[in-house]
Amino acid sequence: MSFFNDTNPVVNRYLVIGSCLMLTLAGCGSSSDDDATGYVKFYNASKNAPALFLTIDEDLDDSSDDHVEVTFNGVEYTKSLTNYEVDTDSYFFELAWQDEDSSTRDNLEIVYEGDIQVKEDEIQFVVASEDVASPTVNVYSIPVIDDDDDADDDLFNVRVLNMHPDSEAIDVYLSNSDETFNEAQLIGGFSYTELSENSKFDQDEYVFYITLSGGTDILYESNKVSFYYASQYVMLVRENNGSGTSPYVIDKVSNSSVEEFIDAESEAKFRVYNAIRTHELLENYDGNFDVFINGVDDDADFTQLSYGSVSEPLTLDKGDYSIDLLGSESGEALLSNHLFSLTENSDKTVFFYLNEENVDLDGDGDVDEDGDGQIDEIEVKVNSLVVSNSTSESIYAHNVALVNLVDNEDFSFVRFYFVRSDETISSAYNSQFVSYADPETVNLLNNTYQVFVVADVDSSEIILSSFELVLDEESVELFMVVENDENSATGYSVDVISQTQD
């Protein structure tokens, strides 16, 4: 095993246009064996990076005679490319991100350039980490293992790669899934960016543990990890960006996939958003409620949460909970024994909103029994909508979750337009339909946008709300919540709040 770490700054200059994903990589003249091949793989461990595009090229300065020139699809943080076969030779490679609408190679913003030697029956594992503006890039040469000596085909191969940027080294252990840490076997101790030698184990289910180097305090314990194939894997240790207190996550990186394993006992975090407007059928509700977790007692978990506001986050153990909502002043129940489940390491926002339903008194499907053209009776119900908060820390692009809480018989969805300075609504590149209580997301590059929320009413487009949105490197991930607003000229408004506010 060998690797190199090259942190020379990238030279920004015009580069030739790259090819599309999955071009066939033909033979290279300088290869010592025309039939000899190796593999290239890329993993994005830069947590403030958007999707990164890997380009492999024979000659950066001249594309006319290139046999090999390929740009792969963008790889998001904690994701990886499939092992890609290429003829043995020396190549240049680039890492870049998409800063325009087009993802063709000449429109990408390069953050790193390097060279790579593809060797026969070896995987060149490229890992980008740290600040995407000036990333650290390591290339690890991993031999392809041919288990011809494993006659029973009952072993698998595993290496450990420590990509957690802690100053302290870690020890990684594993045990059979029906054992404990007391029976665990030490795989090895690893400092930052260190890749282990290969180890072989029987195909089975295992649990992984992490301690500080030489320590016995368990800082991470995985759920069961299955190894049922005679394959080779890299168990990549990285930072935990979720809600749990364990600082570690392990990604099981195979030839074609990445599977995340968080700490088995990770806590979860959630916030509550009050979208319950006052209503004539809720006579004693003044727009404020208290939240009780697992039954009403003397102390509410959140108090006096007003309409249009979001609570502070609350951290709980993973599990199933019941939620009760009471009017802050009246003490009357708005919602009782509402089931709410929290998975480990999750970070969620729960939107409570009001829904009007037509009452069918006799169950015949007719809500206008007297035929006067009016609905005979309506009732209101409090519903919940649970949305996962983005944990992205990208500095060049940002996740915006769009939530439509307007239940209107004149339109069933709204459309968000994000209009840049050289666009109009009709030409906007970024837009998204959002149905009632069915959230959607968009990912927006840093820019200044005029945001328009539009509904189709009687074949006409009606602007419900409009405002300016500025996204830059300091921006956070956002919610945009469309609601009824009797104080607005249009009767609607959009509340813009952070997804990541602590």
Residue-wise pLDDT for 309-332, tens only, equals 999 999 999 999 999 999 999 999
Please give the Cα distance from 236 to 163 (Å, whole number).
7
Q: Which helix (H) or strand (E) holds 109?
A: strand 108-118
Q: Do 2-143 and 392-502 show the same overall fold?
A: yes
pLDDT at position 32 over 90: no
Lowest pLDDT segment from 24-38, 52-66, 68-82, 110-124: 24-38
Q: What pLDDT is stored for residue 213 in this prediction?
A: 95
Give percent of the chain with pLDDT exceeding 90.
Answer: 79
Q: What pLDDT is stored for residue 445 in this prediction?
A: 97
What are 415-431's pLDDT values in tens digits?
Answer: 999 999 999 999 999 99
Q: What pLDDT is stored for residue 161 in this prediction?
A: 98
Of the chain, the end-to-end C-alpha distance in Å amounts to 43
Q: What pLDDT is stored for residue 67 in this prediction?
A: 72
Burial 230-239, CB ≥16 within 10 A → b, else e: bbbbbbbbbe
Domain spans in the chain, listed from the N-terminal domain onward: 2-143, 155-261, 267-389, 392-502
Q: What pLDDT is stored for residue 149 in this prediction?
A: 58
Lowest pLDDT segment from 132-136, 281-285, 451-455: 281-285
Q: What pLDDT is stored for residue 29 in this prediction?
A: 35
Mean pLDDT of 244-272: 96
Residue 427, helix vs strand vs coil: helix
The CATH number assigned to the domain with range 155-261 reads 2.60.40.2890
Give pTM, 2 decimals.
0.87
Q: What pLDDT is stored for residue 378 in this prediction?
A: 75
The CATH number assigned to the domain with range 267-389 reads 2.60.40
Please give the Cα distance from 298 to 328 (Å, whole number).
13
Q: What CATH superfamily classification does 392-502 receive? A: Immunoglobulins (2.60.40.10)
Round the average pLDDT of the chain to a whole number and report it: 89
Please give the Cα distance from 196 to 188 (Å, whole number).
8
Closest to 163 in 3D by CA, of 263, 262, 47:
47
Q: What pLDDT is stored for residue 68 in this prediction?
A: 80
Please give the Cα distance from 281 to 378 (Å, whole number).
9
- Topology of domain 2-143 in CATH is Immunoglobulin-like (2.60.40)
Mean pLDDT of 41-55: 97
Mean pLDDT of 132-161: 88
Please give the Cα distance from 50 to 392 (Å, whole number).
9
CB 195 within 8 A of CB 5: no
What are 60-114's pLDDT values in tens digits?
Answer: 776 665 678 899 999 999 999 999 999 999 999 999 999 999 999 989 999 999 9
